[in-house]
């Protein structure tokens, strides 16, 4: 990544309308008072970087799972699979990653494979760092069959101020490891369920979507 890409990263398509709104409001605020205009400028810069969509280089190795999200690891535990996908009778390992409003919110596939199911569930907008968010909040499930025909589940969970989950892939679509699968606007969490892998991350560890190795066979 060159210096220009670091300073002016690529923007996700969802971001342009928000950036335009922020710029317009900043102009209005500046006409009212210069200091208000400065605050608007800072918020506009934040909005620009919130919707950044940088290129990432994934390992492309079926022996590993890569992080689906930028953020901090909240949980690493053994649990049953999501009942919404009829996996509640199977044991999985789960890694939960919390994204704050300063993290890149573009989500990526942890493995290569095929999207075997996508399920959207409406819900509440409580703090995504709470355990009950995985059952109560708005969320979107992706069940991915990896190249070994194993189920890898990615769950996008909306947070306290998140108000839209965006899906960028379709059922039966083939995925490369690290491919963009969607994003969540304004603060959220991503859970990953997997079998036959051992977690490589710890609670409070920082992750980078598409690059951080979170599990290994």
Give me the active site residues, please. 188
- For 201, other C-beta atoms within 10 Å of its C-beta total 18
Q: What is the DSSP string of 30-61?
A: HHH-HHHHHHHHHHHHHHHHHTB---------
Q: Are 166 and 131 in contact (CB under 8 A)?
A: no
Using the structure block, give the residue that is written with the tokens 């990432």. Answer: 56
Helix runs in 79-182, H state only: 133-136
């Amino acid at each position: 990544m060159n210096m220009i890409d670091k300073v002016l990263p690529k923007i996700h398509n969802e971001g342009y309308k928000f950036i335009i709104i922020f710029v317009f409001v900043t102009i209005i605020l500046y006409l009212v008072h210069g200091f208000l205009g400065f605050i608007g400028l800072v918020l506009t810069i934040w909005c620009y970087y919130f919707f950044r969509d940088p290129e990432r280089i994934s390992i492309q190795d079926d022996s590993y799972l890569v992080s689906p999200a930028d953020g901090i690891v909240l949980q690493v535990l053994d649990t049953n699979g999501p009942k919404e996908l009829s996996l509640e009778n199977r044991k999985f390992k789960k890694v939960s990653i919390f994204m704050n409003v300063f993290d890149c919110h573009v989500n990526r596939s942890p493995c290569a494979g095929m999207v075997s199911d996508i399920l959207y569930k409406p819900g509440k907008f409580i703090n995504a760092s709470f355990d009950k968010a995985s059952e109560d909040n708005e969320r979107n499930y992706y069940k991915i069959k990896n190249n070994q025909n194993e189920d890898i589940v990615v769950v996008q969970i909306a947070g306290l101020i998140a108000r839209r989950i965006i899906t960028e892939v379709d059922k039966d679509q083939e995925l490369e490891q690290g491919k963009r699968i969607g994003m969540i606007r304004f603060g959220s969490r991503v859970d990953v369920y997997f079998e036959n892998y051992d977690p490589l991350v710890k609670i409070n560890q920082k992750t980078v979507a598409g690059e951080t190795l979170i599990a290994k066979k």
